[in-house]
Amino acid sequence: MDKKEEASRKIRQVFNKMAMLNASIMASELSEYTPSEVHVIEFIGENNQANVTKLAQGLYMTKGAISKISKKLIAKGAIETVKKADNKKEVYFLLTDKGQKVFDTHKSLHDSFEKRDEKVYEDVTDQEYERIIEFMDKYSEHLDKEIEKSGFEM
């Protein structure tokens, strides 16, 4: 196995382990919501004037998927729709009190995950962080181009 294959395999392993650990805790704490619903709530809580288009772009999902999820979240009482006085056409989403509680719980869980993993980062140098960030930026740009080439519509 060459270095590229080894690095790719290790990246997948780390992300899969994180997903497994974090997902089980999230599922027990936020059992009423799917991971996609929680991510939509998170995006709305962190971004002003969140609408279907911004959510789709920010979460790398289709507008159709966002529409379905937002309808479910409205039915669950986690989000509500609003329109601006000067633009009755555009629909924006806001968190309700219930949605804010989900947002706060989700944030608290992420904070606990970061605390759990703090010791891994203690010995990482600034130079190593720079290399990691540089690599992840390049990889992200590559994936953006692949998404664009595939015709995936958000």
Pairing of strands 87-95, 79-84: antiparallel
Question: 83: which residues sit within 8 A by CB, 6+ positions away?
Answer: 89, 90, 91, 92
By residue range, what is the domain housing residue 106?
Answer: 33-113
User: 3-class DSSP state for residue 82?
Assistant: strand
Can you name the residues that pair with 15 across neighbouring β-strands? Answer: none
Rg value, the chain, Cα? 18
Task: Say if 20 falls within a structural domain.
Answer: no
Q: What is the pLDDT of residue 59?
A: 95
The 10s digit of each residue's pLDDT in 19-78 is 999 988 998 999 999 999 999 999 999 998 899 999 999 999 999 999 999 999 999 999
Task: Say if 57 falls within a structural domain.
Answer: yes
Task: Say if 7 falls within a structural domain.
Answer: no
Angle between helices 35-46 and 3-29 (to 10 degrees): 90
Can you name the residues that pair with 92 across neighbouring β-strands? Answer: 82
Q: Distance between CA 4 and CA 12 in Å, rounded?
A: 12
Average pLDDT over residues 112-134: 95
Task: Say if 24 falls within a structural domain.
Answer: no
pLDDT at residue 154 is higher than 70: no
pLDDT at residue 118 is higher than 70: yes
pLDDT at residue 111 is higher than 80: yes
Mean pLDDT of the chain: 93
Task: Say if 81 falls within a structural domain.
Answer: yes
Task: Say if 4 falls within a structural domain.
Answer: no
Task: Say if 87 falls within a structural domain.
Answer: yes
pLDDT tier, 148 (very low <50, low <70, confident <90, very high otherwise): confident
Which pTM does this prediction carry? Answer: 0.84
Q: Any idea what the CATH number is for the domain that residue 37 is in?
A: 1.10.10.10
Q: Distance between CA 81 and CA 130 in Å, rounded?
A: 41
First-to-last alpha carbon distance for the chain, in angstroms, is 36
Q: What's the structural domain count of the chain? A: 1
pLDDT tier, 153 (very low <50, low <70, confident <90, very high otherwise): low
Task: Say if 82 falls within a structural domain.
Answer: yes
